Amino acid sequence: MVAVINQKGGVGKTTTSANLGHAIAGSGKKVTVIDLDPQGHLSVSLGVTQNHSGIDDVLLNNRTLQQQLVSVREGLQLIASGRRLPEIEQLSEEGARSGDLLRHALQGKLSGQDFVFIDCPPSSGLLVTNALFAVDEILIPMAGDFLALQGLSYLMGTIRKFERVFKKKYKILLVMSRYSPTRPISKQVLNILLQHFPEQILATVIRETAVLAECPSFGKTILEYSPKSRSARDFRNLAKDFQESRVMMYGGK
Ligand SMILES: Nc1ncnc2c1ncn2[C@@H]1O[C@H](COP(=O)(O)OP(=O)(O)OP(=O)(O)O)[C@@H](O)[C@H]1O
Ligand SMILES: [Mg+2]
């Protein structure tokens, strides 16, 4: 189970969840994606309308997980966010194990799936806490700008604190999700990341392209919207990288 996390907004969490999820499903695997963001962008990106009840009613105890699964593509199922998801952020921290609701709800329920991705909101609130409790893997999409590095050190601090307190060790991978080869800062950020996270950055970078920004408005992934584009190729390659833990080597780019 993989949480797609970065508290910084707009870095490509949802784009990665939808397209990587679909690309892995396309290689014959069973994939479930969970929209844990009240914005509901993952659901919209996959063409599912926002007023669908989803993970909200599972966490608030009205529905079972099975009731909320929507088959969206061959091999790919979605659990939408749902209108009541913001209520989770409002539960008090001391409330009965409010950080552990998601782990509890998912326990053993998706064991038939090869991969489960949880698309997190851009915050470090209770929803993200729930995701960190539930998963053992973390995928961090990174945009290629300077402030992204600052945000990352904060995020890594949060993750390490979780590891200490809950005595767990996450498998952590990073993906350059909005890479502009023509902008020097993108390369600089990547080089700094390679120094700090050797063997943790997925080998394929997702380039910044117009076509990738267009597909959510059609409720399509890039593999449907423009299957021959280089962005579709990026995501097919990333799907291979992810499944084979193929990472970038320092000095390689
Ligand atoms: N590689 C890319 N090339 C072009 N556009 C991109 C790329 N990645 C993401 N985008 C666009 O940038 C915007 C933000 O991306 P996305 O929604 O995936 O980020 P996010 O991290 O999930 O945002 P939020 O923090 O709000 O949840 C979207 O309009 C998306 O289509
Ligand atoms: Mg998002």
Residue with the smallest CA separation from ligand 1 atom 31 is 213
Question: If you ran DSSP here, which 8-state letter would residue 43 be given?
Answer: H
Q: β-strands 76-79, 69-73: how paired?
A: antiparallel
Q: What pLDDT, on the 0 to 100 scale, is given for residue 253?
A: 45
Distance CA 129, CA 215 (A): 30
Domain annotation covers residue 192: yes
- What confidence tier does 147 reach under pLDDT thresholds 50, 70, 90? confident
pLDDT digits over 84-101, tens only? 999 888 876 655 578 999
- What confidence tier does 104 reach under pLDDT thresholds 50, 70, 90? very high
Domain annotation covers residue 251: no
Q: What pLDDT, on the 0 to 100 scale, is given for residue 61?
A: 82
Total number of domains in the chain = 1
Question: Which residue segment(s) compose the domain that 139 sits in?
Answer: 2-244
Tokens of 88: 């989770």
Distance CA 47, CA 179 (A): 26
How long, in residues, is the chain?
A: 253
Domain annotation covers residue 253: no
Q: What pLDDT, on the 0 to 100 scale, is given for residue 62?
A: 80
Q: What pLDDT, on the 0 to 100 scale, is given for residue 161?
A: 95
Q: Which residues line ligand 1 (CB under 6 A)?
A: 9-15, 37, 39, 41, 122, 177-178, 206, 208-209, 212-213, 216
Distance CA 115, CA 112 (A): 9
Percent of the chain whose predicted confidence (pLDDT) is above 90: 85
pLDDT digits over 205-228, tens only? 999 999 999 999 999 999 999 999
Mean pLDDT of 44-56: 88
C-alpha of residue 61 to centroid of ligand 1, in Å: 31
What CATH number did the domain enclosing 216 receive?
3.40.50.300
